[in-house]
Structure 1
Amino acid sequence: MPLYTISTKRPLLDSDQQALVSAITEAHCSITGAPAQFVQVVFSRGVRLRSRNIVHILGSIRSGRSDKIKSELASAFVNSASQILCCPRSRCSVDLVDVPASWVIEGGAVMPEPGQEQEWLARQPG
């Protein structure tokens, strides 16, 4: 958690996929303060996207993030996708969905609420 699904009509180059994973992870961590190990990114290709979109990013993030944080995340993702895929920002879209932390299990333990990550990590084995 969070889980970001990047959907495209056509397959992406491996280098573009890695660049998107790095950009999304960096943005999520710097904006929310969450550890990088929480961020999961998957790719879905051959997807019929709305309108003239080239890429759509769907993020399932823990509930409790402010509208300001969600806006910053969406903007960072659009900027990164536009740069990496060399396409106009208007052809990139982002949707973020709030998911209660209590609905997610990571490494066999229920995820912490935003801001409680360090205490949660300290309690995890290994």
Structure 2
Amino acid sequence: MPLYTISTRRPLSAPEQQALVSGVTEAHCTITGAPAQFVQVVFSRGVHLRSKNSLHILGSIRAGRSDRIKSALANRFIEVASQVLGCSFARCTVDLIDVPASWVIEGGAVMPEPGEEQAWLAQHSS
């Protein structure tokens, strides 16, 4: 958690995928303070997107993030996607969905609330 699904019309090259994973992970961690090990990114290609869209990012993030943080995430993801794919901002869309931390289990433990990651990691690291 979070889980970002990046959907595109065309297959992405391995370097494009890696650049998107790196950009999304860096943005999420910088903006939210969450550790990189929590970030998951998956790709879906050949998706019928809205007219003229090149890319769609659907992010399931832990509930409790402010509107300011969500807006910063969405804007940064569009910047990253536009840079990596060479497309205009207008051809990229982002949707973020709040998911209660209590609905997510990672490593056999319920995820912590935003801001409680360090204590959770200390308790659940092996």
TM-score exceeds 0.5: yes
> How high is the TM-score relative to the length of structure 2?
0.99
1:31 aligns to 2:31 (yes or no): yes
CA distance in 2, matches of 1:125, 1:53: 41
Letter in 1 for 2:25: T
**1:51: Cα distance to partner?**
1.7
Measured after TM superposition, the shift of residue 2 of structure 1 is: 0.0
* Cα displacement string for residues 29-66 of structure 1 (whole angstroms, at most 9, x for unaligned residues): 00000000000000000100012100000000000000
Measure the CA separation in 2 of the matches of 1:125 and 1:60. Answer: 24
Which runs of structure 1 show a deviation greater than 6 angstroms over 4 or more consecutive aligned residues? none
Give the aligned partner of residue 97 of structure 1.
97
State the Cα RMSD in Å. Answer: 0.5
Q: Secondary structure at the match of 2:72?
A: helix
Normalised by the length of structure 1, the TM-score is 0.99
Uncovered stretches (5+) of structure 2, i.e. residues with no partner: none
| Structure 1 residues 70-107: Cα deviation after superposition (integer angstroms, max 9, x where no partner) | 00000000000000000001000000000000000010
Cα distance between partner residues in 2 of 1:111 and 1:55: 29
Give, as a single letter, the amino acid of the residue that structure 1 aligns with 2:12. Answer: L
Please report how far the alpha carbon of residue 125 of structure 1 lies from its aligned counterpart in structure 2 after TM superposition.
Answer: 3.9
Structure 1 gaps of 5+ residues are none
Name the residue aligned to 1:123: 123
Counting aligned pairs with the same residue, the percent is 74
Look up the equivalent residue of 1:60 and give its one-letter code: S
Count of residue pairs the alignment pairs up: 126
